[in-house]
Structure 1
Amino acid sequence: MTRLGYGRGLACALAGASLWGVSGACAQFLLDGYGVTPSLVTAARALIAAALFAVLLAARHRRAVAAILGDGAAVRAVCLFGVALFLSQITFAASVGATNAGTATVLQSLGIVIIMVVSCLRARALPRPREAAGLACALAATWLIATQGDPGALRLPADGLAWGLANAVAVAFYIMYPKRLYARFGSLPVVGCSMVASAAVAVALWLAGGLWGAPPALVPLDAAGIAVLAVGVGALGTFAAFGLYLVGVAAVGPVTGGLLGAVEPASATLLAALWLGTAVSPADAGGLVLMVAMIVLVSVAPPSAR
């Protein structure tokens, strides 16, 4: 437990995961309305978030940043954390490309299973009943929202399965790995420095042509497009989302934090309905109910040290 407190940690993690839905809806708006490429969105969101984190760290956390930079082992650990943050985004994009958005989302949710299994093995204990029930609700909700309850909507070619599992591992890693770094330097300085490292990787790969050899392309945006990219995708969907979520995870632990991270598809569904006019189907409604049940189960459970 960190000084943030369990209740505030829950609120931060839930808010951060919900803001990922903002990023998804805004990215969809840019991809469909302006023809922006996924690689450009990934590089731009990382660069904007890194710049905002750099300003925040310079203003309020200079001592912690200096301590990190003065320790070679800490620098390597933070850079590894940053690479994991980047990999979680690029492997999800690759998973979507090899399968579809619904299948990729379902495969990504397996990261929650990995977190729970590893945590239970470390603690040499079975999951708490509320944790197990919350996991079942989160997985069922994700499946309903992502596939609309149709098993035929899942596409699992070998490369898609490989990318999806890699994405799940990357998500589990970046949630679990920095626990000791948080305890030593504080969660926000660690997250901020890691996001800067992630942005460096994302921008370098975009300039180099990405993973698939596509040349970097800039797309002209009007004022609305620039605002959506800068505020919706960069500031809210990445800077605030990752900052709030990972600071919350530092307080509530990786198991609870991983479960709360499953709120993203529900948030994206609600925002798409309110902003883009997408209809809410019965499957969406059922998934939202299950997601609320998961949140209730997690919120009333005692704090976990795992």
Structure 2
Amino acid sequence: MSRGLVPASSFCDDSVKGYDPAGRTGGSIIQRLGGMIALAAAATIWGGMYVVSKELLTAVSPVLLMWLRYGIASVVMLGGLIARRQLQFDRDTLKWALRVGVMGYVLSIGAQFWGTALSTATLGSVITAATPAFMVLFARLLYHEGMTAAKITAVGLATLGVLLVVPWQGAARITWGSGILVAAALTWALMSVWVGYMPPTISTTRVTAYAIGIAWVLITPAAWVSLPTVSAGVWQSQAFWLGVLYVGVLSTALAFWLWSYGLRQVDPATGGVFFFFQPLSGTILAALFLHEAVDPSLVIGGVLIVAGVIVSQWAQKTPSPRPVGNRGDGEDSSVNP
């Protein structure tokens, strides 16, 4: 889960609607390898985002960091739409953008940053990695998706992993932060399932770009209220702005593109497995740069979460009765903030 603004995870409409192998399975080995590298790179960038954001959140509030991130991402993504002459507005697209913007980019990402600020970067990257498995649950509750043994196993493994990862004893602040991170994973899973049922004629790229812009507008009042709490030295810090650029450009615009490109080369069920690079990179980088401890329960819980993600993606290899439709503009159908 942004994780990127796009999962993430997340992971894509094809994985929810039933994978259509046309156009992907015929790719060369080099193309598929390139796609796998792109997917691994995107997930690694999202893992690193938790480490960078943890440091940034010592200087600014979660809402202000979100505001800066979305401001930069809006310029990059809306600029890309303008350059490709794809900046179009219609009622249905804006309706879905509002839905995604509020649930995904305001509530879920807000919980992600808030939970990371209260707990640790390691917990943030590991707990939110359970998002794909939780998507199975919401698909069942909202759209009556069939529950196979594999899907039930996926949800069970991910839930058990989260329960092991959350530090129930010790600092109450970290426990509360972990609970907020669970809420972030659940709300992102809910948003991702919604997107999976979005009409195929609507461009997911436009919805994502507009949703980020909507989220930026919605949180602007709260961000401005928190501005006076930031010291002048923060705005003059080169390291601070490099971190903001990482969060806004690398973990949003670039990682989104890498994930979209990767899913064009491999089937989503295989591609989703690469999401395990997020908790792996997040844990390693947090240990190296933030000196965060990694205890046995975190390792065991992380392994169970990753196993749940792998099983949930394997379960998606069974086609759904709903038809797969290509986006009207030929764009990739993944959404990963």
- Normalising by structure 2, report the TM-score: 0.65
Task: Tell me the SS of whatever aligns to 1:151.
Answer: coil
Task: Tell me the SS of whatever aligns to 2:200.
Answer: helix
CA contact (8 A) 2:158 2:304 kept: yes
Q: Specify the alignment match of 1:220 in structure 2.
A: 235
Aligned: 1:90 with 2:110: yes
Distance 1:134 1:168 in 2: 15
Structure 2 residue corresponding to 1:36, chosen from 43, 48, 60:
60
Shift in alpha-carbon separation, 1:278–1:113, aligned structure 2, 3 A: closer
- Please state how far the C-alpha of 1:175 moved relative to its aligned partner: 0.8
Aligned: 1:238 with 2:252: yes
Which of 215-224 and 44-53 deviates more? 215-224
Q: Specify the alignment match of 1:76 in structure 2.
A: 95
Distance 2:218 2:276 in 1: 26
The residue correspondences of 1:47-66 to structure 2 (distance < 5 A) are: 47-60=71-84, 62-63=85-86, 65-66=87-88
Task: Tell me the SS of whatever aligns to 2:99.
Answer: helix
Structure 2 residue corresponding to 1:138, chosen from 151, 158, 169:
158
- Please state how far the C-alpha of 1:246 moved relative to its aligned partner: 7.8
Q: Specify the alignment match of 1:126 in structure 2.
A: 147
Deviations 1:51-90, CA, capped at 9 Å, x for gaps = 1111222223x33x31xx0x22321221221122221122
CA contact (8 A) 1:108 1:167 kept: yes
The residue correspondences of 1:121-200 to structure 2 (distance < 5 A) are: 121=141, 122-123=143-144, 125-129=146-150, 131-144=151-164, 146-147=165-166, 150-153=167-170, 155=172, 167-181=184-198, 183-200=200-217
Shift in alpha-carbon separation, 1:117–1:135, aligned structure 2, 3 A: closer
Q: Specify the alignment match of 2:9 in structure 1.
A: none
Task: Give the residue type in structure 1 aligned to 2:67.
Answer: A
- Please state how far the C-alpha of 1:272 moved relative to its aligned partner: 1.3
Shift in alpha-carbon separation, 1:192–1:5, aligned structure 2, 3 A: farther
Task: Tell me the SS of whatever aligns to 1:183.
Answer: coil
Shift in alpha-carbon separation, 1:106–1:292, aligned structure 2, 3 A: closer
- Please state how far the C-alpha of 1:11 moved relative to its aligned partner: 7.6
Distance 2:123 2:129 in 1: 10
Distance 1:75 1:9 in 2: 31
Shift in alpha-carbon separation, 1:160–1:25, aligned structure 2, 3 A: closer
- Please state how far the C-alpha of 1:26 moved relative to its aligned partner: 0.5
- Normalising by structure 1, report the TM-score: 0.70
Task: Give the residue type in structure 1 aligned to 2:147.
Answer: L
- Please state how far the C-alpha of 1:192 moved relative to its aligned partner: 1.9
Shift in alpha-carbon separation, 1:100–1:225, aligned structure 2, 3 A: closer
Deviations 1:104-140, CA, capped at 9 Å, x for gaps = 88986786665323322434522342x3333333334
Distance 1:17 1:199 in 2: 24
The alignment-based identity, stated in percent, is 21
CA contact (8 A) 1:46 1:234 kept: yes
Which ranges of structure 1 fall in alignment gaps of 5 or more residues? none
Shift in alpha-carbon separation, 1:4–1:143, aligned structure 2, 3 A: farther
Shift in alpha-carbon separation, 1:118–1:220, aligned structure 2, 3 A: closer
Instruction: Please identify which structure carries the higher helix content.
Output: 1
CA contact (8 A) 2:130 2:185 kept: yes
Deviations 1:151-177, CA, capped at 9 Å, x for gaps = 325859xx9899667645532332122
Shift in alpha-carbon separation, 1:143–1:170, aligned structure 2, 3 A: same
Task: Tell me the SS of whatever aligns to 1:177.
Answer: helix
Aligned: 1:272 with 2:298: no
Task: Tell me the SS of whatever aligns to 1:36.
Answer: coil
